[in-house]
A and B are shown apart, each in its own frame.
Chain A
Amino acid sequence: MTTPAATAPLRRNDLGWYLYGVAAADETSVPLGARLAAGAAQKVELVAEGSLVGVASRVSLQEFDEPTLPERLRDATWLEEKIRAHEQVLERVLEDASVVPCRFCTVYRSEVELRRFLSERRETLQAALDRVRGKVEVGVKAFIDSDRFTAGRAKQNDDIRQLETQISTAEGGRAYMERRRLEQLVASELERFRGEAADRIHTHLLAAAEDGLALPLQTPELSGRDEKMVFNGAYLVTADRGAFEDALASLARDIRDDGVDLELTGPWPAYNFVPVELSAE
């Protein structure tokens, strides 16, 4: 039997606090606390500090400490498990209360440090919380089916229609050349339309939301769909989502004939609508 001499013995203070997010004390009920404590593999605790509540778990600092963290981050299985756990905890809080989500792997070495953060940043946290109170984030992605676009919407373009008529009567080499020209024309019309569709979608949905923003488009590799993404947006909407979903449904009907399909994700904690950096107070 070998002794792991290189491993430092566990110290008493080897537990830290992983902070998932911050909620308001007046929204986080005792039953929520009990459900959080019982539900997950990782016990979740509500650390109350004045009007704020930190949603946190005790974690092993051996697992999360700086020297070992980079190595952990290369472990895809560990990573996926922790990322999903982070989200699951916040989603359970979101069922009952508004929450300001924290970035992945925010860890305090002690409860004192966690409480100090909550009290020192109380004003900025409270302002962030007020902004998302009673609201959730939803994601909307739009994809264009180029076949449906070509068969439908593209024909609204006079040049495309005219060229199609010419092709129907042309023969041999000329018909081939003109078909190539038509393909190019349809492709450039599609490019133009993508911008127009993105503007239209964002304007329409923004009118039914508290706030919204356009996110970078995803490549087919990331989106998991063959169709080209024309729009990727995030919206802050009231938790019941009624008005927003009505607006989305009517837009989806209108834009479908142009070859555009909409995809809704969420509700998410309002990741995109909280300050990225908390300003010092």
Chain B
Amino acid sequence: MSMSEQQTLKHQVTLLELVDRVLNRGVVVSGDITLSVADVDLVYVGLRVLLSSVATLEESRERISATGAGP
């Protein structure tokens, strides 16, 4: 695994570590606007999109380096 791949991976892991805490824990207070359970589900959908796009990017990089093509 290259340095940049490791960094990407670390970045993703930290984000998930964060999401587990920032979205699942912490005090739920009576704000005028707060996230409902449905909202939190939405957040996970959003993050899956984000993370899968990172994975796709990594995959295409691997393909490029495997075929020796690319810049």
Contact = CB atoms under 8 A, between A and B. Distances in A.
A and B are interacting partners: yes
Interface stretch (A31-39, A68-76, A174-182, A203-211): A68-76
Given A109-B32, A139-B17, A222-B16, A102 B26 contact: yes
A103 B49 contact: no
A101 B18 CA distance: 13
A74 B53 CA distance: 14
B42 A104 contact: no
Contacts, number: 134
Interface in B2-53: 9-10, 12-13, 15-23, 25-35, 39, 42-43, 45-47, 49-50, 53
Contact of B9 (A76, A84, A139, A224): A224
A101 B26 contact: yes
Given A76-B47, A86-B22, A69 B27 contact: no
B32 A265 contact: no
Contact of A278 (B16, B28, B45): B28
A128 B50 contact: no
Given A80-B15, A103-B23, A66 B33 contact: yes
Size category of the B interface is 20 to 34
A104 B22 contact: yes
A273 B27 CA distance: 9
A74 B41 CA distance: 10
Nearest to B8: A224
Contacts of A52: none
A181 B13 CA distance: 36
A164 interface: no
A84 B23 CA distance: 11
Given A271-B22, A276-B25, A79 B50 contact: yes
Contacts of A231: none
Interface residues of A, number: 51
A86 B19 CA distance: 11
Contact of B27 (A74, A109, A268, A276): A276
A105 B32 contact: no
A79 B29 contact: no
A78 to B, nearest CB: 8
A25 interface: no
14 contacts: A21-B26, A69-B35, A73-B35, A87-B21, A103-B23, A103-B25, A104-B26, A106-B31, A110-B32, A117-B31, A269-B26, A271-B26, A274-B27, A277-B28
Interface of B: 9-10, 12-13, 15-23, 25-35, 39, 42-43, 45-47, 49-50, 53
Interface of A: 16, 19, 21-22, 64-66, 69-70, 73-77, 79-80, 83-84, 86-87, 100-110, 113, 117, 121, 128, 139, 215, 218, 222-224, 265, 268-269, 271-272, 274-278
7 nearest interchain CB pairs?
A: A76-B50, A271-B25, A107-B33, A106-B31, A224-B13, A271-B21, A101-B26
